[in-house]
Structure 1
Amino acid sequence: MIFKLLVVDDEVTMRKGISNYMNWASIDCQVVGSASDGVEAMEFLKSQPVDIVITDIKMPAADGLEVARFVHENYPRTKVIILTGYADFEYAQTAIKYHVTSFILKPTNKKELFAAVQEAQKQLIVSQQQENIAKEGVFFLKDQLMQELTDHLCTEELKEKLLSLGLHMDCYYVAAFKPSSDEPDLSALKKIVIEEKKNTYCYRYNNLILNVYFQNQPSASVPEYILENCREISGIVKAFSSSEILTGISALHQSPEAFQTAVSEAIQALTHNFYSEQNISVFHTAGPEEPAELSVENSLDLYQIESSLNNWDFQEAASVSSHIFSKFKTSFTNSQDAKNICSQIYYICCRVMVKKELDPVPILYLEKLLGSRDIFALENTVTEIMEYTRENSMSAHAVPNYIIENTIRYISQNLAGNLSLDVIAQELHISPSHLSRTFKKATSGSLTEYINKERISKAKELLQNTNLLTYEIAEAVGYKDATYFSSIFRKYEGISPSEYKAKFFVAQSSHIPYN
């Protein structure tokens, strides 16, 4: 420990001699300032802490005794050594009154001054030790009292003890800090919380560190400085130990009788950390719903995912999965229940892959899913599982033939009806976008192009074999507007429907094949 000295003397030679030409470092001291009179010395003391003041007694403006009085009243830990050329008993009495450490007559030699400073050092060390012991005793009493208040109902006796120790429980929040590591260093965590504290009291409770944030007045929500303090603590722990800290914060409480409730809320909020990106969760009075398990609603969602995947409708499966996670987040579903339901999605994807004669989804995805620390990691993993299923299914089966077959069959059977992309997709239970992509990939043409060709082919058949009028044929093949039908027919055949029919009968009478 280095002791800081202030030298005060109106004589320049004395002041410089003591400040600059004595080996203070040899006795662990450092001169941090000097002053030419008492007023200047007192101003210096206001701006910078000092351990020992060496001052002359006779100075203009304010003398050494005035400095000693000022130190005694304002900085009682600082020691004062007075140098004087007057062996006056009255001065000595006054010096004792102000707890002056030493009263040395001038001329002063180096040895005598060093001895006086070393005596002051001893007194400072003893005083510091006594203060530390007293503080440790108070901390011990406070910790015992907070433990008692946590485990038992608040009595009048406990309320009196709280007040005697300066713990005013009339407006406060409680934060619970829980390390995520298997072997947490709670002592180190407590030290970090204490060092980062802002009007708080911190203590250990089982495997948690609890921190009480005292407020001057009630607030509608948790003040930002508390959230920021919690983020700082989490960041420090992560930087030095690479482990996460889960934090739960209670609602505001305004009496010592509510302290047990506040602690319970902070601990309960820890369970909501699964739904917090920053691992900091604030207690909500609504609380989590009952464990979800595999309800009828969950079963229906899972069935819909499996059905969609089997029908190659990956977009619909992803939509149902997103809906499941929205319900998790809204109801704060128990984390284990959420993981169980997501495990079912993994096994569904495995069954779908096997049914398509492919390898199941690798087990590492299930391990990653079960090890998810929060809802966001869990959702990302499920998305990865679904994407793995989609990519491997599509790469292994360039053309899912049954989709094309069913599409062609439906078009053939419904040429006169509404054959929009949405209608066909709905009938086949797949998404419009997936149907469009799959059909184009399989036939190298668009679905609309295929429908038009089929309709024109059927129209040619009707023109050849019936006496239906043009507008009747248009309706028979799904065109409500005869003019539009004629323009489409001309686009594909190069002539109008009536011209086609005339040429067909001319060719037929001449026994010439005509298409």
Structure 2
Amino acid sequence: MFRVMIVDDEHIIRKGLINFIDWEALDCMVLCEADNGILAKELLESKKPDIVIADIKMPGLDGIKLAQYIHENNPLTKIILLTGYSDFEYAKSAIKYNVVDFILKPSNTEQLIEAIHKAKTLIQEEQMKAHRVLDLENRIKENLVEMHEKFFQDLINGVLVHPSRILNKMDKLKIQLHHFYVLVYKVDGTDTVESDGVLERKGNILLEIKSFISLIFKDFDHYTILVDNKTLCTVISFEDLCCPQPMPVIVSRSEEILNFVNNFLSIPISIGISDIHAHPSEVQKAFHEAHKCVSYKFYEDGNIFVYSSFHSKEHHLEEIVVYQYIDKIIKHLESGSTLKALETLSQLFEYQRAFTYPIEHVKTTSIVICSLCVKLLNNYNLKLCDAITNADQIYANILNCESIGKLYDTLEGLVQSVGTALSTLNTQHSYIVQKVIEYIKEHYHAPIKLDHLADLVHMNSCYLSRLFSRVNFIIFKP
């Protein structure tokens, strides 16, 4: 419905226009009225009418001056002027202010209604034009955003590497990068295969996070892209590195992002922040720094990780040292020294933590320990399920551990259980060996066969022979 304001210094004219025109049939409503141009100016700002019907001759501010004011300050508002024969020539001077029509007084209702229809048509045409322009601007903006995302994806994936090509494309896309950081936001969780519904929900959540990131960093040049269904990446540029200091600002606003995600989206994420870089060709390097930071969650509590805080810890870790630790763990278990095996396991994990050993390597090391424990148990005719519950899930549990603490707990439980199983078995073996030795002492004058001894202790003859060889260094011959 179109909103109308009537301006005339004659009360009877105003009431006549209000009461003798079927405004509802015209899809209009009289929003307000004024008896002079000065009051009309005030109402224009507060009421914002679509159509103004005004007399030319009024005290204070006449209709021509009011038309000029509307043209200059409220160009979307349409004005219809009421004029007498004597001032018609004067009224024509208002044509330059885009007056819709001039209606001679006393007003002809049909002419006024026709002028109102004309004003409505002009308003609708301008609204449609404005919508088309806005739609075009939005499409251009969306296309530009897509082109920006494609540009940074190419940088991250190493498709764009030549400095001159990078700078040329940045110039075309009007991308500004001075000194910049890269932030990586990753949804926490395992890398298990997920259903389409779960992936769609995560995709929607990432888009919500992306919108919030744009809001948080709106006062800086920044570009946020979707890397995959669990990862977002933001490149933030700072022209002045002194005021404010970039890193405290980035960390503070990253905390705001975390609070938003935790409180409103209820999904855990981790944020990695790269070191500072100066040339666009280093975007890929910065991305890898930030992405690597996210993996530090495996070693440290928290959700925000800064590359410069961890980079100094990274040194070359000797693979041979790791396998020396593994060898000691198995030898301690084999000799019955479970406590020493656990101490060595703790030393191994501290060594890996100190050098921020790659997560995949830590998990591989743990799987090697598990496999050697299985082999050790097999040497004693035991299976892993004899030592621990859920033995069939041990490898999956290792691969799915999200922190080094949880992984250590898993391995500690395994080593403790294997040590206990072997200790129990060794106690049983000592009893068996002692029983066989006592039998031999009592019947040393009679011929004794290995099969007879095996039947005595309900054991396979070959296994009994190996047992005696291992415990008492005595070899039985069949």
CA shift, 1:234, in A, is: 5.7
Match of 1:153 in 2: 162
Q: Which among 250, 254, 259 is matched to residue 280 of structure 2?
A: 259
Taking structure 1 as reference, are residues 92 and 312 closer, same or farther at Cα in structure 2, changes over 3 Å only? farther
Aligned: 1:343 with 2:367: yes
Secondary structure at the aligned position of 2:77 is classed as strand
In 2, the alpha carbon distance for the partners of 1:344 and 1:310 equals 16
Taking structure 1 as reference, are residues 134 and 63 closer, same or farther at Cα in structure 2, changes over 3 Å only? same
Matches within 5 A, 1:215-294: 215=238, 217-218=240-241, 219=245, 221=247, 223-228=250-255, 230-231=257-258, 247-254=271-278, 258-276=279-297, 281-284=305-308, 286=311
2:184 and 2:233 in contact (8 A); partners too: yes
Match of 2:330 in 1: 306
**What CA deviation, in whole Å up to 9, does each residue of 1:236-262 have, x standing for no partner?**
9965xx7x76654332334xxx12213
Match of 1:202 in 2: 224
Residue type at the aligned position of 2:286: E
Identity %: 12
Residue type at the aligned position of 2:405: E
CA shift, 1:66, in A, is: 1.5
In 2, the alpha carbon distance for the partners of 1:82 and 1:384 equals 80
Match of 2:77 in 1: 80
Residue type at the aligned position of 1:66: Y
Taking structure 1 as reference, are residues 353 and 134 closer, same or farther at Cα in structure 2, changes over 3 Å only? same
Match of 2:406 in 1: 380
CA RMSD of aligned residues (A): 5.1
CA shift, 1:343, in A, is: 1.1
Residue type at the aligned position of 1:40: E
Taking structure 1 as reference, are residues 68 and 170 closer, same or farther at Cα in structure 2, changes over 3 Å only? same
In 2, the alpha carbon distance for the partners of 1:325 and 1:104 equals 90
Taking structure 1 as reference, are residues 328 and 192 closer, same or farther at Cα in structure 2, changes over 3 Å only? same
Further displaced range: 382-391 or 393-402: 393-402
Residue type at the aligned position of 2:356: F
CA shift, 1:193, in A, is: 1.3
Residue type at the aligned position of 2:255: E
In 2, the alpha carbon distance for the partners of 1:333 and 1:398 equals 35
1:176 and 1:249 in contact (8 A); partners too: yes
In 2, the alpha carbon distance for the partners of 1:114 and 1:280 equals 62
Q: Which runs of 5+ in 1 are unaligned?
A: 73-78, 97-101, 403-515
Aligned: 1:371 with 2:400: yes
In 2, the alpha carbon distance for the partners of 1:287 and 1:110 equals 80
**What CA deviation, in whole Å up to 9, does each residue of 1:193-220 have, x standing for no partner?**
1454023333456887543323353235
CA shift, 1:89, in A, is: 1.7
Q: Which among 85, 96, 99 is matched to residue 93 of structure 1?
A: 96
Match of 1:168 in 2: 176
Secondary structure at the aligned position of 1:370 is classed as helix
Match of 1:213 in 2: 236
In 2, the alpha carbon distance for the partners of 1:132 and 1:325 equals 58
2:227 and 2:233 in contact (8 A); partners too: yes
Match of 2:42 in 1: 40
CA shift, 1:340, in A, is: 0.4
In 2, the alpha carbon distance for the partners of 1:157 and 1:298 equals 43
1:339 and 1:370 in contact (8 A); partners too: yes
TM-score (norm 2): 0.58
Residue type at the aligned position of 2:237: F
CA shift, 1:349, in A, is: 4.5
Residue type at the aligned position of 1:80: T
In 1, the alpha carbon distance for the partners of 2:147 and 2:287 equals 20
CA shift, 1:290, in A, is: 7.7
Residue type at the aligned position of 2:283: A
Residue type at the aligned position of 2:369: I
In 2, the alpha carbon distance for the partners of 1:348 and 1:111 equals 95
In 2, the alpha carbon distance for the partners of 1:330 and 1:225 equals 27
Match of 2:130 in 1: 127
Secondary structure at the aligned position of 1:221 is classed as helix
Secondary structure at the aligned position of 2:357 is classed as coil
2:367 and 2:398 in contact (8 A); partners too: yes
In 1, the alpha carbon distance for the partners of 2:69 and 2:177 equals 42
Q: Which runs of 5+ in 2 are unaligned?
A: 429-478
CA shift, 1:55, in A, is: 3.2
Secondary structure at the aligned position of 2:240 is classed as coil
In 2, the alpha carbon distance for the partners of 1:312 and 1:250 equals 47
Further displaced range: 177-186 or 325-334: 177-186
Aligned: 1:136 with 2:139: yes
Residue type at the aligned position of 2:210: V
TM-score (norm 1): 0.55
Which protein has greater RCO, CA pairs closer than 8 Å, 6+ apart? 2
Aligned: 1:55 with 2:52: yes
In 2, the alpha carbon distance for the partners of 1:264 and 1:14 equals 75
CA shift, 1:282, in A, is: 3.8
Taking structure 1 as reference, are residues 166 and 367 closer, same or farther at Cα in structure 2, changes over 3 Å only? same
2:67 and 2:94 in contact (8 A); partners too: no
CA shift, 1:110, in A, is: 6.8
Number of residue pairs matched by the alignment = 369
Taking structure 1 as reference, are residues 317 and 249 closer, same or farther at Cα in structure 2, changes over 3 Å only? same
Further displaced range: 150-159 or 328-337: 150-159
Taking structure 1 as reference, are residues 157 and 65 closer, same or farther at Cα in structure 2, changes over 3 Å only? farther
